[in-house]
Structures are given as structure tokens and as C-alpha cells.
Amino acid sequence: MSDAALPTVSLDPAALLSLMRLSSPALPIGGFSYSQGLESAIDAGWVQSESDVRHWIASLLEANIGRFDAPLAIALFRAVAEGDDASASRLHQRWLASRETAELRAETLQMGQSLLQMLAGLELDPALRSQVDAHRSHEAECGLPLAWAFAARAFDLEPLAALSAWLWAWLENQVMAAIKAVPLGQQAGQRLFSALRPALAQVIARCADRTGGNTLPIHASNFAPGFAIASAQHETQYSRLFRS
């Protein structure tokens, strides 16, 4: 898919800065401490080189990230942006139920709470403040996509922009985990970003379609057994750098 065929996101300078802030590694939510099963795949010998890392990440983008996580996330972002609390709650529960291992569920809840804590220190409109406070007090669980949706609303970012930031943060974290654990050099990491950018853009383009509204497409599937096995094995891995 050429860049000309990709959807456009209109951002004024203030919104662009907010988008960069949300996707920054400096966001204090602890993303750097998770590999989402990649460390286990490396330990098992499934991923041993730069080309292996590229194939692993590209496969996730084509499978569960592209076909389930991203479509669900943007539907959730739209629901929160439009004040559709019923759809947001339903989508969030679907997200939590779809985490296939204890580590993946703990990861999304920890990062969600950390993002809520950051938001709680900012000036928010009363309605958003009420939602953030309710989830921080554990009246309801809050995974990362729901907290991300609250952040996008606080920063006045449209859902497609919020999804772009969320996916880039995911990709960056995967590449950085590979650099540390394979290990790879920094130049290899930059080659991976360049090679995987088109696949990431295609996922965003597919999610730009508004025909599904605030619902998860009927064909959505997170079937990726190798990823699930790697995540499950990580729970009992002897030596670990990462928490998932």
C-alpha cells in the first residue's frame, strides 16, 4: 500500500505534540519492562536473528494485532470519544477476556493503572475526571486500551491518531526488547523500524473504516497459537529480563 493510499490524520501543532507525548518511551507506564512473549521465543530458539525478529513482529501484525487488538482498540477509542459508555464497557471486557495468559492480563492492568495515575495528576474535564477516578479506585478494572482512550480524550486526539500512537508504542517496545534480548545492535533496530513501518501503516488503514462504528468486526480473531504458547512459557522461564 502506497503512502498516498493511507488515511490522513489532521493534527495541529498542539495535537501533534500530544500525540508524540502519548507514544513516547518516556510515558511513565512501564512498557519497557514487558516483551509480550518475545523473550520466551528467543529463549526457545524460535527467534535468533534480525530476520527472525522481523518475521515474528510482522506475523503478529498480520494476525492478532492486526485482526483483533487494533480493531478492538479503535472501536474502544471511538466509544470513549463519543461518550458511548455501554459500548466502551463491553469492548473493554472483551479486551480483558481475550488476554490469553496471566502475564498478559497483569500487563494490561498494570500499564492501564499507571496511565490512569499519570492522568490523575493533570487537569481534566469533570466527566473524564469522574471516569479516571472510578477506575483508579478499583471500582472497575482498567486495561491499557481503556486508559489510552481516556488519555486521547484528555489530549483531544481523534481515535485514528490515538491508534497510531498506540501501535507505534507497541512496535517500538517489541523492537527494543529484541535489541536487548537477542541481542541486536541499534542499527538493526532502525532497519526493523523501516521494514515494519508499511505493515503497521496497513493495520492503521484497515482500522480507519468507520462502517463498523463502535463495534468489533465479526471476523475479528486473535488466533496466534505460537504467541500464546510463548507467553505461557514465559511464566516459568528460568532467567528473564522482562515481566512478560
Q: Identify whether the C-beta of residue 112 lies closer than 8 Å to the C-beta of residue 183.
A: no
Helical packing angle, 102-120 and 85-98, nearest 10°: 140
Higher pLDDT, 84 or 209: 84
> Is 90 exceeded by the pLDDT of residue 171?
yes
How high is the pLDDT of residue 221? 85
Which grid coordinates belong to 103?
502475564
Which grid coordinates belong to 75?
472501536
Which CATH number does the domain 35-234 belong to among 1.10.287.470, 3.90.1150.10, 1.20.140.10, 1.10.4190.10? 1.10.4190.10
Composition of the chain by helix, strand, coil, percent to 5? 65, 0, 35
Between the CA of residue 49 and those of 29, 53, 173, 183, 184, what are the distances in Å?
28, 6, 17, 8, 8
> Is 60 exceeded by the pLDDT of residue 20?
yes
> Is 70 exceeded by the pLDDT of residue 192?
yes
How high is the pLDDT of residue 4? 44
Helix/strand/coil for 241? coil
Query: What is the residue-averaged pLDDT of the chain?
Result: 91
- Where does the pLDDT of residue 38 fall: very low under 50, low under 70, confident under 90, or very high at 90 and above? very high
Quote the pTM value: 0.93
The closest alpha carbon to 122, from 76, 154, 163, belongs to: 154
Per-domain residue ranges of the chain: 35-234
% residues pLDDT > 90 (the chain): 76
